[in-house]
Structure 1
């Protein structure tokens, strides 16, 4: 991987260093060790700034100072510098996410139960589907006309839930999809009503228990967009409307 100095400085800035700190650190590795004058000669950093920048890098654990006259600086090894920056990143990451997690928990009791969410993009919809499947207590209905939506993680999730006693139904007009799930123990398969055979926009439908639903559509470019709602009155009503229209049939209901 070829990286020029500007890209390296930008990368160091994203890791938390200032531009001057990155330049001095790079310059000292070019020199091996050196004085402020030496650094000024090879780096675009004013000599008057080198002293304070070097002091900051020392506090960060990225260089060592030799108390000579003039003062000399030596960078720590790249391996040590990498560990130092990585540890700092991990500490900041933990601090940031710990706060967000604390705020999230504090606000949980105030969230509305009527939220309807939108998810765009195949990978993000995949992740949301797997998350919703993991929440099932009693039943799952999964429907799609598109074989590309049948992934190994999806199959494993459905099979796992079926093994744990959850009623699992897969609905598809595609024979290969139905045949694929016929081999999974505890998973029932069915076909949608014939009135749906002209549908060319639907992506997938997921019903979890009686109060969680996800519906997606696929545009002409193949991009998937889904709406979903969990534990809401909206989801409960929509589930009832879909089942009343015979869009899906739960085998456990007889």
Structure 2
């Protein structure tokens, strides 16, 4: 990693630009005067003093009372702990503030619109939320066992325990074992089933649908669209039901 990369990483951890550059320069120097730090970091000397004093306030730098004054970085392990603690505090404070101002009126996560999501965890969160809202039935298309996280699996079990009709369609026979002790119907489709799996899909009741596909060029790995209690959800649900009926009929005919 270059000094520039180290500066960028420290900025992502919350250090301002000059402080990050001064801290990296001190790591390279071991200790140094404002002039030496300025020469190494390209931070104007007049700005080094303020940045170094801020770093000292954070506990990341020692001030050597010499003439001229010198600065020395603390041990890297100590710096790591201090920055991690600071990041945790800021993260907690940020989300406490967000929770305080979060809309408490109508639930804007549900409605007639179509929304998109990126990333396995946010998509799992949405699947769990939609399953929890089921009134009658849930159908989840999970091509492989890895398609079912522990949270999604638990939400399906809970829905079945509440009397909802829960069906999982998969090409992975191991999914059967996962629900062996639960009132969840698992339909294992054969590899030659014409209803090929493009990704995960969820249908809840008659008008809530989520469709997800893996994206190799996306670092988050998966992208999804979903709609709840909407006309387009009803249309998509009919298409899903038709495809599933065709697939299961094909399975029955092959038996």
Q: TM-score range by the shorter chain?
A: 0.5 to 0.7
1:206 aligns with 2:205: no
How many residue pairs get aligned? The number is: 237
RMSD: 4.2
Task: Check whether the contact 2:208–2:227 (CA below 8 A) recurs between aligned residues.
Answer: yes
For residues 220 and 24 of structure 1, the distance between their equivalents in structure 2, rounded to whole angstroms, comes to 40
1:157 corresponds to: 155
2:141 corresponds to: 144
2:165 corresponds to: 168
The partner residue of 2:106 within 105, 109, 114 is: 109
Q: Secondary structure at the match of 2:165?
A: strand
Task: Check whether the contact 1:201–1:217 (CA below 8 A) recurs between aligned residues.
Answer: no
CA distance 1:200–1:219, shift in 2 (3 Å): farther
| 1:169 Cα deviation after fit | 3.1
Q: Secondary structure at the match of 2:106?
A: helix
The partner residue of 1:19 within 3, 8, 17 is: 17
Gapped regions of structure 2 (runs ≥ 5): 246-255
For residues 155 and 14 of structure 1, the distance between their equivalents in structure 2, rounded to whole angstroms, comes to 35
For residues 37 and 178 of structure 1, the distance between their equivalents in structure 2, rounded to whole angstroms, comes to 65
For residues 72 and 214 of structure 2, the distance between their equivalents in structure 1, rounded to whole angstroms, comes to 58
1:29 aligns with 2:27: yes
CA distance 1:4–1:167, shift in 2 (3 Å): same
1:252 corresponds to: none
Q: TM-score, normalised by structure 1?
A: 0.67
For residues 154 and 77 of structure 2, the distance between their equivalents in structure 1, rounded to whole angstroms, comes to 41
2:129 corresponds to: 131
CA distance 1:149–1:73, shift in 2 (3 Å): closer
Task: Check whether the contact 2:31–2:71 (CA below 8 A) recurs between aligned residues.
Answer: yes
| 1:25 Cα deviation after fit | 1.7
Q: Secondary structure at the match of 2:155?
A: helix
Q: Secondary structure at the match of 1:216?
A: strand
Task: Check whether the contact 2:208–2:237 (CA below 8 A) recurs between aligned residues.
Answer: no
| 1:244 Cα deviation after fit | 9.9
2:44 corresponds to: 46
CA distance 1:161–1:201, shift in 2 (3 Å): closer
CA distance 1:234–1:51, shift in 2 (3 Å): same
| 1:52 Cα deviation after fit | 2.2
CA distance 1:69–1:38, shift in 2 (3 Å): same
CA distance 1:157–1:110, shift in 2 (3 Å): closer
- Between Structure 1 and Structure 2, whose CA radius of gyration is higher? 1
1:187 corresponds to: 184
Residue deviations 1:45-67 (CA, integer Å, cap 9, x gap): 33333222222222232212233
| 1:90 Cα deviation after fit | 1.8
Gapped regions of structure 1 (runs ≥ 5): 249-254
For residues 170 and 56 of structure 2, the distance between their equivalents in structure 1, rounded to whole angstroms, comes to 67
For residues 67 and 178 of structure 1, the distance between their equivalents in structure 2, rounded to whole angstroms, comes to 67
